[in-house]
Amino acid sequence: MHHETSPHAALTPDALADPPTSDGECPPPDASQREPFAEFLCGDLPRWALVRHRMDPAEVTDVGAAVSGALETVRAAVEPGSRVCLAVGSRGIDRIDEVVRSAVSWFRAAGAEVFAVPAMGSHGGATPEGQLEVLASYGMTPASIGCEIRSSMETVELGQVRPGVPVFVDRNALEGADLVVPINRVKPHTDFTGEVESGLMKMIAIGLGKQRGADTFHRQGFDTFHELIPEVAEFTVSKVNIPFGLALVENGHARLWRIEAVPRDRIWERERELLVEARERMARLPIGSIDVLVLDYIGKDISGLGMDSNVVGRYYKGPTGAGPSVQRIVVRDLTAETEGNAVGIGMADVVLRRAVEKMDTAKTYMNCITAKTPEGARVALTTDTDRQALSVAIACCLRVETHHTRIVRISDTKHLELLYVSEPALADVLATGRCEIVRPLEAIEFDRDGMFKASIE
């Protein structure tokens, strides 16, 4: 991250002593010259400082060695000549292309034939081409991972796990392979809580079911997922040869921390343990109360909800009870990697028009329809500039004076090492003992187009 005008500096008494600086005069009274929401643009904004949030930096440094080491523990399950299908997903997992490429190399060295399938439910607009595009956006192409990718939405029904709950599996995986190996990150889910949430079992239960399986599953409602995911996964494993899965866990910097092969008979037990570890290491905002939270980006590569509900403390229905209390959320843009899928934008209170204009309605709606959460695509108050967005968000807060607003700005909910914190909230952040100021308090400034001058990179 860098600022366009100032070098990094330590906090000094002088940095706290200067009075707040106005970010601009009130708009002229002539209505023809007034920009939208001009009545909310008066008043002094608080200053903010750039803060570094210190987290455990331990990570996997040699992906190839870690993958090989993990797979060696289950070598007995792979016979020479076996046809192996790697099930890979759509999330923005750290170095996932390296993980899959290393796995392909290991299986080839073990004498197996290898191909991959997208195991991502309805993502990519629920089309074979769209799912290939999603994988490519994360660096996974046949050339980059070293094997064929067979993308199809065709499935086979394995039976019913409950009355009215059929279980589906990707036809290519079932009929084209002798064994299927899911590769997925274990992490807290954004829509429900349980002993097992996102991970190997979810990929087996939902991802491999493609759109039909995901749609059927979501029809039962998120309140059933904590029971259905293990139930459907175990049913699938009883019908499909899934001897083990490759589980990935990330640290608070969104970097790979653990790569582990989990045998079939231990998936339920081990994934519960890995979820506890993932929850302990995930990045969280170092503050309990925020008036306005500004997100530079949301996207499917950041979270299944575009923004992680575990970080923002909010879901479509309201506060989650975990994470900070946030009055208003501003979304500035979509990531390039999300390719127009703006699911989760419905959790924002104010959005910039550029984010709305990048929305691919087909991809976004398909995701929301399959998940039975149409509110995920709802568009909030829309503004043209950062200045307007911040001012409108503050105006929508309760019991807040503009110059006393507790503002936090982050790149996205996956990257929380650097953040801007306004002066009214700064003491609370520093009191955690996990944060340090890397740029002293300065005015929140906007360029001629009304966009933030400071950037988070």
Q: What is the DSSP string of 205-227?
A: HTGGGHHHHHHHHHTT-GGGHHH
The pLDDT, as a whole number, for residue 104 is 98
Q: Which two tokens stand for residue 44?
A: 């002094």
Which positions ≥6 away from 396 have C-beta within 8 Å? 327, 328, 349, 350, 381
- What is the maximum span of the chain, computed from C-alpha positions, in angstroms? 80
The pLDDT, as a whole number, for residue 224 is 87
Domain ranges across the chain: 13-55+284-442, 63-281
Q: What is the full per-residue pLDDT of the chain (457 aa) written as tens digits?
A: 433 333 333 343 344 444 444 444 555 555 555 778 888 886 799 999 999 999 989 999 999 999 999 999 999 999 999 999 999 987 789 999 999 999 999 999 999 999 999 998 888 888 999 999 989 988 999 999 999 999 999 999 999 998 888 999 999 999 999 999 999 999 988 777 888 888 999 999 999 999 898 888 888 888 888 888 999 999 999 999 999 999 999 999 989 999 999 999 999 999 999 999 999 898 899 999 999 999 999 999 898 899 999 899 998 888 887 779 999 999 999 999 999 999 999 999 999 999 999 999 999 999 899 889 999 999 999 999 999 999 999 999 999 999 999 999 999 999 999 999 999 999 999 999 999 999 999 999 999 999 999 988 6
For 63-281, the fitting CATH number among 3.30.70.1070, 3.40.50.11440, 3.40.50.970, 2.40.340.10 is: 3.40.50.11440
Helices marked H in 154-209:
171-176, 200-205
Element (H, E) at 170: strand 165-170
- Rounded to whole angstroms, how far apart are CA atoms 159 and 149? 26
Rg of the chain over all Cα atoms, to the nearest angstrom: 23
- Rounded to whole angstroms, how far apart are CA atoms 194 and 275? 10
- Which residues, listed in sequence order, are joined to residue 338 by a DSSP beta bridge? none
- Rounded to whole angstroms, how far apart are CA atoms 2 and 349? 27
| Strand 407-412, strand 289-295: pairing | parallel
